[in-house]
């Protein structure tokens, strides 16, 4: 999976894409099939989409990126709100001369994708929402724990939360990979990301979304549950839900073949 930096709103943003590596100052080739923008989760980065980039890149033009303050992009702080993140997605599209695209997001990325589709409908051809919710609910205890890590009062925890039982028992390498990506972003950014999610409620805006929509939920996801996906699907005409067995909050890396197949089928049906 080729990578490169690209200037967006005076920031050096790290891109993850498919196809041939391009020279400095030359954007990635996004001429194959559908153009897809992949939006990462809170405190995460674009590398977590590598299974989807590699697979979909055979026939389409997928691209992921690290938001400011995440992964290898410039900055030590994330953005302050979901709306700011959504506007930055639009800035990315503009910097890469994308007039329309399919938007895919996981967790926080799904909230951002919904907001982009509702506020910038002329840009979005379709949505793929993974581990999706329109209103993230986290306990005050969880938020307090994240704040304690962000302030340096306690160490960052590396747990199996967010993974299905089968992943924990049979794929420890997948969990280790997730941990390695987690440490690429300051825990303060993870905290402010999740705070932005908690402070956002898009339940009243879902009906503004008119584009074809696929929701993918891990059967064992306890953070953004299959019921959350069904709620969103019930508000968008024609939306469908695909439940992935033996997956939880991290289905794109837990069950990449199943997730990729669901996206393949969805894209094949788009007009």
On the question of pLDDT at 157 being above 80, the answer is no
Residue 104, beta-bridge partner list: 38, 128
What whole-number distance in Å separates Cα of residue 85 and Cα of residue 62? Answer: 19
Decide which of 158 and 48 is more confident. 48
CB 47 within 8 A of CB 72: no
pLDDT of residue 112: 99
What whole-number distance in Å separates Cα of residue 81 and Cα of residue 158? Answer: 26
Confidence of residue 166 (pLDDT cuts 50, 70, 90): very high
Domain 3-269 falls under CATH 3.50.50.60: no
Degrees to nearest 5, angle at CA 16 with 270 and 215: 35
Q: Coil, strand, or helix at residue 209? A: coil
Confidence of residue 143 (pLDDT cuts 50, 70, 90): confident
Q: What is the pTM of this model?
A: 0.96
- DSSP characters over 36-78: EEEE--TT--GGGGHHHHHHHTTTSEEEEEPPTTSTTSS-SS-
Q: Burial letters for 103-126: b for 16+ Cβ neighbours within 10 Å, e otherwise?
A: bbbbbbbbbbbbbbbbeeeebbbb
Per-residue pLDDT tens over the stretch 180-236: 998 999 999 999 999 999 999 999 999 999 999 999 999 999 999 999 999 999 999
Question: In the predicted model, what is the mean pLDDT of residues 48-57?
Answer: 98
pLDDT of residue 142: 86
The pairing of beta strand 3-8 with beta strand 11-17:
antiparallel
CB 69 within 8 A of CB 184: no
Confidence of residue 159 (pLDDT cuts 50, 70, 90): confident
pLDDT of residue 156: 79
User: Tokens in use for 36?
Assistant: 């897809």
């Amino acid at each position: 999976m080729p990578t490169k930096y690209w200037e967006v709103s005076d920031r050096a943003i790290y891109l993850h894409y498919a196809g041939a590596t391009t020279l400095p100052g030359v954007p990635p080739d996004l001429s194959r099939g559908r153009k897809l923008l992949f939006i990462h989760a809170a405190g995460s980065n674009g590398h977590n989409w590598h299974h989807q980039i590699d697979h979909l890149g055979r026939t389409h033009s997928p691209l992921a990126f690290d938001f400011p303050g995440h992964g290898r992009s410039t900055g030590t702080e994330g953005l302050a709100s979901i709306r700011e993140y959504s506007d930055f997605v639009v800035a990315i599209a503009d910097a890469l001369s994308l007039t329309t695209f399919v938007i895919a997001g996981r967790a926080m990325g799904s909230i951002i994708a919904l907001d982009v589709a509702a506020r910038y409908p002329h840009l979005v051809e379709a949505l793929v929402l993974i581990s999706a919710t329109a209103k993230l609910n986290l306990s005050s205890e969880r938020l307090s724990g994240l704040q304690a890590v962000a302030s340096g009062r306690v160490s960052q925890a590396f747990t199996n939360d967010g993974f299905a039982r089968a992943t924990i028992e049979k794929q420890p390498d997948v969990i280790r990979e997730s941990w390695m990506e987690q440490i690429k972003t300051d825990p303060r950014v993870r905290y402010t990301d999740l705070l932005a999610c908690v402070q956002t409620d898009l339940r009243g805006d879902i009906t503004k979304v008119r584009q074809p929509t696929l929701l993918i939920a891990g059967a064992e996801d306890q953070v953004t549950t299959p019921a959350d996906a069904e709620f969103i699907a019930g508000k968008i005409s024609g939306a469908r839900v695909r439940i992935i067995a033996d997956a939880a909050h991290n289905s794109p890396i837990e069950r990449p073949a199943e997730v990729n197949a669901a996206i393949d089928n969805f894209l094949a049906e788009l007009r």
